């Protein structure tokens, strides 16, 4: 019977290894919420994925990945470049969304052009975040640099809240927090968004060692994300209610935020990684390098593992 106990114990150990939990770090960004939809609607569970999602700010998210507290994350391509440059061994397994007006720069009503931002105070998150990256890009495209403005370092939600409360001359934030500024026209206006400056591209990344041990779980996670996108098309009202509950919005308000997001299905994933990924990474590396956010320059092809699509 001793041999039977050994076999049973080995089987339990193997099952535990095969079912290792996905611990996913993300934010309240509207574009990430199909991942929560897959959790709330039971899609992950149906596909055998044991998942725990944690809402963690970008800088803490990278530290959690490095320490092993997370084994997956939703993030932007520019942030993933920063993590890769810092030696955090992660790869992209899927494209989640592209911002189509969901990130934006809000200004006071008396500011009419980007040139007028010189010397002004802008509520924006710190280096290594998508907000800092987008602001750097916008300023460079208009003959300025990040050094030409005064930065009040605030994450996306407090940046919007502070702006509405009267703090700062401008704020760079994203949905659903950008809509809180849209709803207060007396406080200011949205001057430009990711529609004019399309630099916000979101991806799902996993740690390499987790992928090596749990390829079936990674595949099921990616499949579950695409199933969630199918649910949004099939049952939009229910999907928006579930996703809105995550960020304390009613379904109709979440739907308005989602109008500024372009979620990326399987076909869009294949198109992006075939044509757009390398040029975008090369461009983002130049911006991040020029702003001294990174030292090492990752190669685009080393940042992806596309076998799960």
- In whole angstroms, give the CA distance from residue 171 to residue 105: 6
Structural domain includes residue 88? yes
Structural domain includes residue 277? yes
Q: Output 124 or 2, whichever has higher pLDDT.
A: 124
Least confident of 15-19, 85-89, 274-278, 300-304: 15-19
Structural domain includes residue 42? yes
Q: Which domain holds residue 158?
A: 103-193
> Are 40 and 173 in the same domain?
no
> Are 256 and 296 in the same domain?
yes
Element (H, E) at 172: strand 170-174
> Are 275 and 206 in the same domain?
yes
* Average pLDDT estimate for 197-216: 97
The count of domains in the chain is 2
Structural domain includes residue 308? no
Tokens at 41, concatenated: 């609607």
- In whole angstroms, give the CA distance from residue 136 to residue 125: 12
* Average pLDDT estimate for 144-152: 96
> Are 79 and 211 in the same domain?
yes
Structural domain includes residue 2? no
Q: Is the pLDDT of residue 14 over 90?
A: no
Token look-up 């998210």 returns 61
Structural domain includes residue 242? yes
> Are 132 and 208 in the same domain?
no
Q: Is the pLDDT of residue 230 over 90?
A: yes
- In whole angstroms, give the CA distance from residue 49 to residue 68: 19
> Are 207 and 170 in the same domain?
no
> Are 207 and 187 in the same domain?
no
> Are 207 and 291 in the same domain?
yes
pTM: 0.86
Task: Name the domain boundary from 129, 164, 193.
Answer: 193
> Are 183 and 230 in the same domain?
no
Classify 204 as helix, strand or coil.
Answer: strand
Q: What is the CATH number of the domain that holds 81?
A: 3.40.190.10
Peptide bond into 287 cis (omega under 30): no
* DSSP 8-state secondary structure symbol assigned to residue 304: B
Structural domain includes residue 176? yes
Please report the pLDDT score of residue 291 as a whole number.
86
Task: Name the domain boundary from 143, 170, 193.
Answer: 193
pLDDT in tens, 164-180: 999 999 999 999 999 99
Please report the pLDDT score of residue 2 as a whole number.
39
pLDDT in tens, 115-144: 999 999 999 999 989 999 999 999 999 999
- Residue 4, Cβ density class (10 Å: 0-12 exposed, 13-18 middle, ≥19 buried): exposed
Task: Name the domain boundary from 145, 167, 193.
Answer: 193
Least confident of 18-32, 35-49, 85-99, 138-152: 18-32
Please report the pLDDT score of residue 145 as a whole number.
92
């Amino acid at each position: 019977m001793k041999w039977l106990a050994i076999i049973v114990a080995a089987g339990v150990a193997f099952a535990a290894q095969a079912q290792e939990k996905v611990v996913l770090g993300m934010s309240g960004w509207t574009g990430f919420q199909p991942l929560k939809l897959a959790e709330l609607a039971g899609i992950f569970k149906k596909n055998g994925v044991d998942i725990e999602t944690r809402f963690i700010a970008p800088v803490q998210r990278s530290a959690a990945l490095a320490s092993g507290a997370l084994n997956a994350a939703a993030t932007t391509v520019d942030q993933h470049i920063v993590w890769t440059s810092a030696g955090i061994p992660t790869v992209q397994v899927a494209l989640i969304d592209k911002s189509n007006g969901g990130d934006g720069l809000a200004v006071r009503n008396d500011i009419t052009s980007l040139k007028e931002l010189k010397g002004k105070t802008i509520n924006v998150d710190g280096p290594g975040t998508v907000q800092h990256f987008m602001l750097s890009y916008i300023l460079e495209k208009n003959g300025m640099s990040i050094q030409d403005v005064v930065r009040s370092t605030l994450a996306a939600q407090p940046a919007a809240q502070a702006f509405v409360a009267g703090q700062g001359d401008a704020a760079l934030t994203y949905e659903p927090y950008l809509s809180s500024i849209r709803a207060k026209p007396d406080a200011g206006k949205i001057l430009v968004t990711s529609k004019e400056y399309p630099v916000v591209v979101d991806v799902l990344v996993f740690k390499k060692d987790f992928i090596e041990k749990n390829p079936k779980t990674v595949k099921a996670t990616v499949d579950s994300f695409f199933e969630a996108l199918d649910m949004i098309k099939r049952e939009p009202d229910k999907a928006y209610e579930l996703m809105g509950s995550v960020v304390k919005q009613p379904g109709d308000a979440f739907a308005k935020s989602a109008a500024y997001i372009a979620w990326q299905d399987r076909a869009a994933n294949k198109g992006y990684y075939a044509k757009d990924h390398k040029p975008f990474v090369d461009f983002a590396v130049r911006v991040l390098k020029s702003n001294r956010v990174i030292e090492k320059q990752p190669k685009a092809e080393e940042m992806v593992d596309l076998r799960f699509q």
